[in-house]
């Protein structure tokens, strides 16, 4: 008869596993800032310049400036003085030759018979002086510019490690159970003790 009952209780546990993961945090999308400078063309023009100088033409018809009139008058005065000096010298020379039959009346008659020189002049005798400067154009081109400033957001990655968790729900044990009755010493101590009749 088997008096001992041995029961083995196994361990009981609970395992929780959480896999590792990589979290990508991208808060903003990439952006670009565009700056544009338009092209330019600068032009500078100068018109034709015509210069008309009519001072010589006006002088030829007697319309002269004050400095020119003064200068010509002084020149004519000097020439008249030289001419008069020459005439008086010639008149004196002729008067000094009376021995050759020269008389004051003859000398005076010769002077009065002299005819002045005449000239045929077309007025005006010269045309205006024309000078000109051609037109000009100056061009300066400045090309445009396009600038792009990229703002690239960096991706933020967070690594979440995995988890391994084991919880013991029941520890292992061995249960020993006695199936027999207790042994009393002395046997008379047993409550079911009956004395044997002789």
Lowest mean pLDDT among 30-44, 121-135, 154-168: 121-135
3-class SS of residue 108: helix
Mean pLDDT of the chain: 80
Q: What is the pLDDT of residue 14?
A: 93
3-class SS of residue 36: strand
Please list, in sequence order, all residues whose beta carbon lies within 8 angstroms of the beta carbon of residue 171, skipping any fewer than 6 positions away: 11
**102 pLDDT more than 70:** no
8 Å CB contact between 142 and 39 = yes
Q: What is the pLDDT of residue 122?
A: 58
70 confidence band (pLDDT: 50, 70, 90): confident
**95 pLDDT more than 80:** no
Distance CA 173, CA 195 (A): 42
DSSP secondary structure string for all residues of 75-87: HHHHHHHHHHHHH
Provide, rounded to the nearest whole percent, the portion of the chain with pLDDT above 90: 9
Nearest to 153 by CA among 23, 24, 27, 35: 27
* Residues 149-189 pLDDT 10s: 888 777 778 888 989 999 999 999 999 888 877 777 887 78
DSSP secondary structure string for all residues of 120-178: --PSS-S--EEEEE--EEEEEEE--EEEEEEEPPPPEEEEE--EEEEEEEE--EEEEEE
Question: What phi and psi, each to the nearest 5 degrees, are found at residue 121?
Answer: -120, 130
8 Å CB contact between 113 and 28 = no
Q: What is the pLDDT of residue 129?
A: 85
Q: What is the pLDDT of residue 15?
A: 92
* Residues 5-27 pLDDT 10s: 889 999 999 999 999 988 877 65
Q: What is the pLDDT of residue 184?
A: 76
Residue 162's Cβ-side half-sphere holds a number of Cα atoms within 13 Å equal to 6
């Amino acid at each position: 008869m088997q008096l001992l009952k041995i029961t083995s209780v196994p361990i009981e546990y609970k395992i929780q596993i959480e896999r590792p993961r990589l979290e990508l945090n991208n808060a903003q999308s990439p952006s670009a800032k565009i700056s544009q400078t338009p092209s330019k063309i600068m032009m500078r023009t100068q018109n034709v310049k015509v210069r008309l100088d009519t001072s010589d033409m006006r002088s030829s018809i007697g319309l002269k400036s004050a400095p020119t009139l003064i200068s010509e008058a002084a020149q004519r005065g000097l020439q008249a003085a030289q001419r008069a000096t020459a005439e008086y010298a010639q008149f004196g020379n002729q008067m000094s030759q009376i021995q050759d039959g020269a008389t004051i009346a003859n000398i005076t008659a010769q002077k009065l018979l002299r005819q002045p020189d005449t000239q045929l002049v077309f007025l005006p005798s010269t045309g205006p002086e024309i000078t000109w400067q051609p037109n000009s154009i100056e061009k300066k081109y400045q090309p445009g510019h396009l600038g792009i400033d990229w703002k690239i957001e960096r991706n933020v990655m967070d690594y979440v490690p995995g988890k391994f968790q084991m919880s013991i729900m029941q520890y292992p044990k061995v249960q020993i159970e006695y199936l027999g009755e207790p042994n009393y010493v002395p046997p008379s101590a047993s409550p079911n003790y009956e004395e044997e009749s002789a």
